[in-house]
Amino acid sequence: MSTIASLHIGEIGYISEEALDFIPLKLLEMGCLPGAEIELIQIAPLKDPIYICVNGSHLAIRKETAAQIKILKSNN
Amino acid sequence: MSKNDIKVALIGNPNTGKTSLFNQLTGLNQKVGNYPGVTVDKKLGVSKLSATQNAIITDLPGTYSINPTSIDESIVLKTLLNKDIAASPDVILVVADIENLKRNLLLFSQIKDLEIPTVLAINMVDQMTKKGITIDLSVLRKELNTEVVLVSARKNEGIKDVKEAIIRCHVAAKASPLCNIDSKIDADYFAKLKEITPNYSMYELWLMITQNSFPDTISAEEKEKLLGFQRDISKLKKYQHKETIYRYQEINKILKKTYLVDKNKATDLRSRLDKIFTHKIFGYAIFVFLLLLIFQSIFDWASVPMDFIDATFADISSYAKQQLPAGVLSDLITEGIIPGVGGVIIFIPQIAILFMFIAILEETGYMSRVVFLMDRIMRRFGMNGKSVIPLISGTACAIPAIMATRTISSWKERLITILVTPFTTCSARLPIYAILIALIIPSKKVFGFLNLQGLVLLSLYALGFATAVLAAFILHKTLHINSKSFFVVEMPNYKLPSLKNVFFEVVGKTKSFVLEAGKIILALSIVLWFLASNGPASFDNAEKNTIENVANKNLSDDELQQKIASAQLQNSYIGILGKTIEPTIKPLGYDWKIGIALITSFAAREVFVGTLATIYSVEADDEDATTIKQKMSSEINPDTGQKRFNFAVGMSLMIFYAFAMQCMATLAIVKRETKSWKWPLIQLFGMGLLAYVSSFITYQILS
């Protein structure tokens, strides 16, 4: 199963409903909710952190956090 | 301030223009205070709401929710849970950004559930048409059950509406929760929680147990019961997640009826700028270019006003000398206080320029991109992308830099940043470097275009950064602190900096630096003056002995006075202190006079030059030597007959000041921020040892 970390730049996914327990509260509060559309905007030059847009929030998070959050990719 | 003033707490997400609104509401009526118990700076301002009604507005740190993850954010929760009449807010003004209304309303919904009268100010409405946003204000007011006003703080539009809404809200004093979280999560659980005490709302009690933050006003028995709820941590966590999801569901329901975005109208300026600023080559190139620009301005542009300030204080001092009657008090004023105050004022241009750059970089949204670019690199050294800001600020002054670490939520990353920040070359080291370089490095061109003196100065800055990073790496490997490193940074939209905000920021920060540092330096110059003009019995006899010793040498009056002054200095308390430590510092190339300057500059580095100036001016035998540089240059080492400040001594001193923790104010702030003496003491002795050993090696190799 894919996670936020496996998105490519410009790719869109949807946060999986079963991801809820793995999303840190802080991210949840910033709009990173199950079912939300998430787009990967940019990856930092050293491959980490990554820059995402979810629910209108533009956020930079580290890869280790991103790798915990499961998503469904739009094509499957 | 009067009893009738309405106490307003200003709360909002970062990047919502909260500061702009605060500045518009209060103007120059601002001051900085401390929160009781926690020593975090609190910005207060008075706002004239109407002809008869004033409000005291407290600007709380920006936060995304009242569940805190950093020190800054925990202030918000503490202020809101406080039921002390004098401190608790009457009205809460929540600022939201029109573009991110959904996320901003999460914080609003939490605040509303505290059951305190709340006004919602939706800011940046001037962007609405451009972003294709339409909003139904009357329905939103009804749905949120609160006063809602549209403002554009930067354009000074809607400020009057905010003021009127605060008054209306205060008069009505109605407060009802927005989300009844209990029924949606676990009604029984929350009913039991509510039973504990009628003095707090259910949501307040819920916050106390989830955030482990209990106000003083809660009784021991109540606290005991609340602690009982904390036992099942996984349940708390689960319910917090449920609570947040439920809040968003409610917000979505409300926004569906009231808020519409036409996505086709949104411009993609942000993504185009992001492509450049976070590019793997251009991104770093732009960052390095900006750093060079900042340093260039600190050295070059600031030198004009600094020379002016230097000359002005010299004039004031000599004018005062002529005007005041000779005596002890006049000496204190002309030799102690005036140069002491001048020594602080002279840093204002550099510090103001640096704060200006940092304020602009933060205002435009660029700083978040730097954090994004640098996080991976900084993590290798046990720090955080956010550590870049303190390390840059540290080139002005370590004090505001250390306070800027509060946004770092991981304790280990924050602690390491605090510990290494004093290695960066702060502006207090600059006068020491400047005078020593002028004394020992010839002013000539290398490679045809680089000034050798400038090159040495640049190397000292590089040395400071390199040591900071190296020290961080060692601390990262040796400190075993378990702290969860969690990193999330909002990448705000780019915007033009508001001149007003930048101006207020620069004035506020510079003012607090001058006052903080000024207090210490002023106090110290008085102590120093006292220690230099008093001493044990040998001090009192110095005059008599000198006259007897030179009785047959036919000295002129001036020469005799100098001999007496020199003998008095040697026998004063400070002279004795200098002589006592002389054996310890001799291997570094220093004599007792430099020793005195080392001791006094322990309080603040910049005192070093002033102390030497005082000591040599007391002794100076060259009438023409008016500037400090000339006085130092003519100082002779009696052992060798050569100049005291030769190449080896100069280098040894510069290395000493590059590493030594010579700043009481910084130690005090580290103690405050780490809440223990352990860390400032480690800094003091660790950096001191490094300074001693490095200077020893430098001197022994070069001499």
Residue in A23, A24, A48 closest to B376 by CB? A48
**Contact between chains at A20 and B65 (C-beta distance less than 8 A):** no
Cα Rg, chain A, nearest whole Å? 11
What's this model's pTM, rounded to 2 decimal places? 0.83
Of A20, A44, A55, the CB nearest to B373: A44
Mutate to test the interface with A, among B244, B277, B280 (most CBs of A within 10 A): B244
Task: Classify burial at B394, counting beta carbons within 10 Å of its beta carbon; exposed 0-12, middle 13-18, buried 19 or more.
Answer: buried
Chain B CB contacts of A61 below 8 Å: 487-488
Among residues 75-104 of chain B, which lie with CB inside 8 Å of chain A? 99-100, 102-103
**Over 70: is that where the pLDDT of B603 sits?**
yes
Question: What per-residue confidence (pLDDT) applies to B38?
Answer: 44
Distances (CA, A) of A12 to A23, A74, B492: 18, 6, 20
A35 contacts chain B (CB < 8 A): no
**B491 with A55: Cβ contact below 8 A:** no
DSSP element (H, E) containing A37: strand A37-43
CB-based contact (8 Å) between B280 and chain A?
Answer: yes
C-alpha atoms less than 13 angstroms from C-alpha of B60 in its C-beta half-sphere? 28
Which chain A residues are within 8 Å of B284, Cβ to Cβ?
A: 45
Q: Are B8 and B489 in contact (CB under 8 A)?
A: no
pLDDT in tens, B653-695: 999 999 999 888 788 889 888 888 999 999 999 999 999 999 9
What element of type H or E holds B514?
A: helix B499-533
Report the C-alpha gap between B126 and B582 in whole angstroms: 67
Question: A51: which chain B residues are within 8 Å (Cβ-Cβ)?
Answer: 274, 278, 372, 491
Residue B354's Cβ-count burial label (10 Å; 0-12, 13-18, 19+) is: buried
CA distances from B376 to A47, B369, B380, B662 (A): 8, 13, 7, 32
Rounded alpha-carbon distances, angstroms, from residue B561 to B303, B471, B550, B623: 37, 50, 11, 13
Inspect the interface and report whether the beta carbons of B487 and A27 lie closer than 8 Å.
no
Question: CB atoms < 10 A from the CB of B672, how many?
Answer: 14
Query: What is the Cα–Cα distance from B285 to B598, expressed in whole angstroms?
Result: 40
Chain A residues near residue B376 by CB distance under 8 angstroms: 44, 46-49
Paired residues of B149 in beta bridges: B121
How many residues are there in chain B? 703
Chain A CB contacts of B106 below 8 Å = 29
In this predicted structure, what is the pLDDT of residue B32?
62
Q: How many CB atoms lie within 10 A of CB B30?
A: 18
Query: Does residue A55 belong to the interface with chain B, where contact is any CB pair within 8 Å?
Result: yes
The Cα of A59 is separated from the nearest Cα of chain B by a number of Å equal to: 4
Looking at the complex, does the CB of residue A26 fall below 8 Å from at least one CB of chain B? Answer: yes
Range of weakest confidence among B418-432, B528-542, B646-660: B528-542
Q: Contacts of residue A62 in chain B, CB cutoff 8 Å? A: 375, 485, 487
Q: How far apart are CA B163 and CA B54, in angstroms?
A: 10
In chain B, the N- to C-terminal Cα span, in Å, equals: 64
- Strand, helix or coil for residue B242: helix
Question: What burial letters (b/e) apply to B549-559, b meaning 16+ CB within 10 Å?
Answer: eeeeeeeeeee
| Strand duo B445-446 + B450-451: pairing | antiparallel
Residue B268 token pair: 């993609």
Q: Residue B34 belongs to what H/E stretch?
A: strand B30-34
* Interface contact flag, A57 B240, Cβ < 8 Å: no
Average pLDDT of the residues in B132-155: 91
Q: Residue B666 has what pLDDT?
A: 86
Residue whose C-alpha is closest to residue B8's, from B47, B34, B65: B47
Does residue B600 contact residue B586 with C-beta atoms inside 8 Å?
Answer: no
Instruction: Calculate the average pLDDT of chain B.
Output: 85
Residue scoring higher pLDDT (B199 or B485) = B199
Alpha carbon separation from B300 to A14, B292, B296, B310 (Å, rounded): 52, 12, 6, 16
**Residue B35 pLDDT exceeds 50:** no
Q: What percent of chain B has pLDDT over 90?
A: 33
Instruction: Report phi then psi at B35, rounded to 5.
Output: -75, 140
Q: Average pLDDT in the B363-382 region?
A: 92
Any A CB within 8 A of B380 CB: no
Shortest distance between the Cα of A70 and any Cα of chain B, in A, equals 16
Distance CA B142, CA B257 (A): 11
CB of A34 within 8 Å of any CB in chain B?
yes
Residue of B nearest to A58 (CA): B491
CA distance A4 to chain B (A): 14
Q: What are phi and psi of B219, to 5 degrees?
A: -80, 160
The tens digit of pLDDT for each residue in A12-46 reads 999 998 888 889 988 999 999 999 999 999 999 98
Predicted ipTM of the assembly: 0.94
- B246/A contact by beta carbon, under 8 A: no
| Longest pairwise C-alpha distance within chain A | 31
Kindly determine whether residue A51 and residue B274, on different chains, have CB atoms separated by under 8 Å: yes
Nearest-Cα residue of chain B relative to residue A29:
B244
Q: What is the CATH number of the domain that holds A50?
A: 2.30.30.90
Tokens of B543: 């005059």
Tokens of residue B701, six digits = 């190799």
Residues B48-97 pLDDT 10s:
999 899 999 998 888 999 988 887 788 888 888 877 766 688 999 999 99
pLDDT band at B551 (very low <50, low <70, confident <90, very high): confident
**Domain that residue A31 falls in:** 4-73
Residue A33 and residue B248: Cβ atoms within 8 Å?
yes
Number of domains present in the structure of chain A: 1
For residue B562, what are its two tokens? 């100098």
Nearest to A59 among B283, B490, B493 (CB): B490
Are A49 and B241 within 8 A, CB to CB?
no
Find chain A residues with C-beta within 8 A of B368's C-beta: 60
Instruction: Tell me phi and psi for residue A46, to 5 degrees.
Output: -95, 25
B284 and A61 in contact by Cβ < 8 A? no
Q: In sequence order, what are the residues at sequence separation of 6 or more whose Cβ sits closer than 8 angstroms to the Cβ of residue B131?
A: B98, B99, B261, B265, B266
CB-based contact A65 B487, cutoff 8 Å: yes
CATH superfamily placement of domain B6-263: P-loop containing nucleotide triphosphate hydrolases (3.40.50.300)
| Per-residue pLDDT, B39 | 45
B446–chain A nearest CA distance, Å: 36
Give me the DSSP letters along B491-502.
-PPP-PPPHHHH
Out of A27, A34, A45, closest to residue B283 by CB: A45
How do B147-150 and B118-123 pair as beta strands? Answer: parallel
Give B408's contacts (C-beta < 8 A, 6+ positions apart). B70, B384, B386, B387, B414, B417
B435, two tokens: 């005078």
In the DSSP assignment, the letter for residue A7 is P
List of chain A residues whose C-beta atoms are within 8 Å of the C-beta of residue B385:
49, 60
Is residue B266 over pLDDT 80? no
Contact criterion met (CB < 8 Å) for B488 and A47: no
Is residue A18 within 8 A of residue B478, CB to CB? The reply is no
* Average of per-residue pLDDT across B560-582: 83
Annotated domain spans of chain B:
6-263, 282-478
Which residue from B26, B44, B27 is spatially nearest to B35, judged by alpha carbons? B44
- pLDDT digit string (tens) for B447-462? 777 788 888 888 999 9
The number of angstroms, rounded, from the C-alpha of B178 to the middle of its chain's C-alpha atoms is 37
Which residue of B13, B133, B241, B248 is the best one to mutate when testing the A interface, meaning the one whose CB has the most A CBs within 10 A?
Answer: B241
Would the CB atoms of B491 and A65 count as touching at under 8 Å?
no
CB-defined contacts A:B, below 8 A: 106
Distance CA B619, CA B520 (A): 26
In the prediction, which pLDDT does B566 show? 72
DSSP for B655-681? HHHHHS--BHHHHHHHHHHHTSSHHHH
A34 CB neighbours in chain B (<8 A) are: 245
- In degrees, to the nearest 5, what angle opens at C-alpha B264 toward C-alphas B259 and B269? 105
pLDDT of B40 reads: 53
Q: Which helix (H) or strand (E) element contains residue B651?
A: helix B647-659
Residue closest to A47 by CA, chosen among A1, A5, A14: A5
CA distance A57 to A30: 7
Q: Is B372 exposed, middle or buried (0-12, 13-18, 19+ CB in 10 A)?
A: buried
- Determine contact: B255 vs chain A, CB below 8 A: no
Interface test with B, best of A12, A20, A23, A29 (most B CBs within 10 A): A29
